Amino acid sequence: MREIVAELSGVTFAYAAGIPVLDNVDLVLRRGDYLAVLGPNGGGKSTLLKLFLGMLAPTAGLVRVFGGPPTRVRGRMGYMPQLLKPRVDYPVTVLDAVLMGLAGRSGRGFRYRREEQDTARRALGRVGLAGQEDRSLAELSGGQQQRAFIARALVSEPEILLLDEPTASVDAGGKTALFELLAGLNQDMTIVYVSHDLSVVGCGVKSVACVNRTVHFHDAPEVDADMLRMMYGAEGGQRCPVELIAHGRIPHRVLAEHEE
C-alpha cells in the first residue's frame, strides 16, 4: 500500500458559523496519486484544497499532511490558485512571476540568488517555457500563462502539486497540452486537480473525489451514476442532469434515466 501523504478525517468546515461548506469529510491522498476533485461551483472544492494547504482550519475534524499540521509543511506543497490573471499594465516578466513562488522563504523579500533564478528557469523548462524568461507575462497566450503559473507552483520543488481550475480560459489545444504536461509531472509528484469539468476524468487522472458538501471517493478514473447524483442530482432541480461518459473499446455517451 502506498504511503499516505495527506488526509482529512471527519472534517467539517463552515465560514463564520454558517451552513457547513464541507460536512464530516474523510479523504486520503496517497503518494503518486493524481486525484481529480470534481463538483459544482460552491460545492466545496476550493475549500478542500485550502484545508490541505492550511490556509483554512477545520471547524471540526483533523487535517494531516505528511503526518502533521499542514502549516508546518507548506514548503513541500505547490499551489496554483484559481483565476490568476496578469494585469496588462503590470510590468512583470515571466521569470519574475515564477520567482514569486519563492517569496518569503529566504527572508530576503523579492531578492533572489543566482541559484534560485536557475531553479526558476528549470521550472519554466519543465512546463515548456524555456527561453521565455524575459517576456512580459501579459504577452503570453492564456495557455502559456497557465504554464507559467504552474512553474511558479513548481519552483519550490514540491512533493504535492495542488491546482485549482488550471484549464480555465484555456482553449482546447491548450487543455490537451496541459493534460500531457501534468501526466509527465505526476511521475515525480502527487497531484490534486480541482475542476468542474468532467472531461478531466479521461485525461490521465488516477482517482476521483466528487465534492458537494460531502465527498465520494473512487480509486479509479471513473464517475458513476451515484457520484453524479450526489454532485448534480434531482435535489438541484435538474430533470435531465448530466451525461455519463462511458469508456470501453468505443468511448460513448449515455444519458441516465430522466423525465421528458
Largest CA distance in the chain: 65
- Residue 132 has, within 13 A of its CA and on its CB side, a CA count of 23
Decide if 21 contacts 47 (C-beta within 8 A): yes
Handedness of CA 131, 136, 139, 142 (dihedral sign): positive
Res. 252 pLDDT band, cuts 50 70 90? very low
Provide mean pLDDT across the span 61-79: 95
Q: Which domains, and CATH codes, for the chain?
A: 4-223 (3.40.50.300)
Q: What confidence tens digit (pLDDT) does each residue in 40-58 have? A: 888 999 999 999 999 999 9
Please provide the average confidence, as pLDDT, over all residues in the chain.
Answer: 84
Q: Is the pLDDT reported for residue 89 higher than 70?
A: no
Share of the chain above pLDDT 90, in %: 54
How far apart, in whole angstroms, are the C-alpha atoms of residue 84 and residue 60? Answer: 30
3-state secondary structure of 24: strand
Place of cell 453524479: 228
Q: Is the pLDDT reported for residue 246 higher than 50?
A: no
Burial (CB count within 10 angstroms: exposed 0-12, middle 13-18, buried 19+), residue 244: middle
Can you give the pTM of this predicted structure? 0.84
